Structure 1
Amino acid sequence: MADELRINDRLTIPGGELRERFSRSSGPGGQGVNTTDSRVELSFDVGSSPTLPDWMRERALDRLSGRLVDGVLTITAREHRAQLANREAARARLAALLADAVAPPPPARKPTRPSRAAKERRLEAKRRQSQLKRGRGAVGE
């Protein structure tokens, strides 16, 4: 494929690194589903891509480890009747998945303490619940 896949503002994968396979799809399409190869498998070799910098490759391999087979990420699209629509869907999914995988980790949560008013509200709610339960006791005790 000649066209490239834009992942984010700093990363674009050349079309030569993407592999597409087409096969017959199940689902909607009537009789045409038996004759057209509308199902698309889009593969990208994350482990040996020269486009990805080393730090980005390590991050992607780590985060996508459950989806990779020998370092290759494969996306399947077969929800549309047209091959072109499935190709676009597979490319969009691959771009979103890689963008999430190479994104920097979120900042660490800064620990906070509950305010005095929050502590008082919690204790008051516990007192109310305790009173409610105490009032449910057996009659005559």
Structure 2
Amino acid sequence: MRTRTRLAAVSGLAAMAASAGLLLGAAPASAGPNCASGYHCVYYLGINDSARHSYFDSDTDFRNDTFNQLTSRTGGGQTVHNNVASASNSSTGGYESHYYTGVGSDWEGFLFCVNPGSHVDYLPGSLQNRASSLRLRGTTSINCF
């Protein structure tokens, strides 16, 4: 009986250690470059060489937003509306960043999206300087950057 109790205790400890190892080994939320954890960032030009604006939630209208971070760089103080050349996603909740040409909650004119932990430094020319709103969405089947 004593051997069976020890075996059960050893098995239980091994299971707890394995669980702890899995928890400790879990990867932290991925961060996109030059964008604080939990935020979705847009850039006037390149990610490392221009002004930035950070969003924590969806925004239906970029017309009243400015590139208000890293303002000594190119684009500092400029309006975000139709001036986005690069984007980075540092979501801690797994949200994709979906950008649209439309203003308002109708989410018209889908342009592109960025996966959590990803970025696009200089969008393709046809997508640059067109974003007018941002919608945060859970995982979708849309192919994102």
Bigger Rg, which one: 1
**Higher relative contact order by CA 8 Å / sep ≥ 6: 1 or 2?**
2
Which structure's residues are more often helix, by fraction?
1
* Superposed pair shares fold, TM > 0.5: no
Q: TM-score, normalised by structure 1?
A: 0.22
